Amino acid sequence: MKAVVLAGGKGTRLAPYTTILPKPLMPIGDMPILEILLRQMKRAGITEVVLTVGHLAELLHAFFRDGDRVGIKIRYSYEDHPLGTAGPLSLVEGLDDTFVVTNGDVLTNLDFKALIEFHRAAGSAATIAMHARHVKIDLGVIQRDGGNRITGYIEKPTYDFHVSMGIYVFEPRVLQYIPCDEYLDFPDLVLRLIAKGECVMGYPFDGYWQDLGRPDDYAQAIAEFETLRPQILGEA
């Protein structure tokens, strides 16, 4: 079982930290967030991980090298120019069976093995791990008829969404929808798959998930990690 970890972004939302460190090397507790992900993948039976790298790639390579320290084989795929979130997959060789793709800055207690089993049972081309989010608007929301005539008024509503966790499972045939060495993001790839009649499933997950995109999210993840560590790393 192989996985691809997207680790080539510049992490601009987490500046100034990411001016000197790639975001996947940002520490959570006593280890980088990427190491936490790698250890979770190893527990799920993933034996090889490809890191797609660009920004500060030499630091990632110097820290993880061939993966021997964490007990998982690591190789690297280099981007000469930004390719978005899905585009880097076109440069990765050897994705000839079901594979996992994840952002390199996600902290979660998701069971990767259960996600993979769900994907295979569904027979889908792609499965997206998804998390429920409740967004409260602290203002009165005005509804209109398409012009300026008001048709409704909702005081401080809460909207419910399912959002992508930045973790996916793909079948190899998905790669045919990704142009080689061209910019493509996952939302566009998913829309292409749907337009071609491919089955795309969502895997609902109600456990812990934190995207480390912003400084306040990163600070919250640090504060919560020690309590959640046994769940996240499978430690006794």
Q: Domain coordinates of the chain in residue numbers?
A: 2-131+162-233
Instruction: Output the pTM of the full model.
Output: 0.89
19, pLDDT greater than 70: no
Q: Which residue has the tokens 């980088």?
A: 32
The token pair at 210 is 């934190």
**Taking all residues of the chain, what is their mean pLDDT, rounded to a whole number?**
91
Share of the chain above pLDDT 70, in %: 94
pLDDT at 57: 87
Determine the average pLDDT of the residues in 35-63: 92
> Contact at 8 Å (CB) between 36 and 109?
no
Name the helix (H) or strand (E) containing 122.
Answer: helix 112-122
SS3 content of the chain, % helix, strand, coil (to 5): 35, 30, 35
What confidence tens digit (pLDDT) does each residue in 144-169 have? 998 999 999 999 999 999 999 999 99
Q: Which CATH class is domain 2-131+162-233?
A: alpha beta
Strands 27-28 and 31-32: antiparallel
Determine the average pLDDT of the residues in 43-47: 95
101 pLDDT tier (thresholds 50, 70, 90)? very high
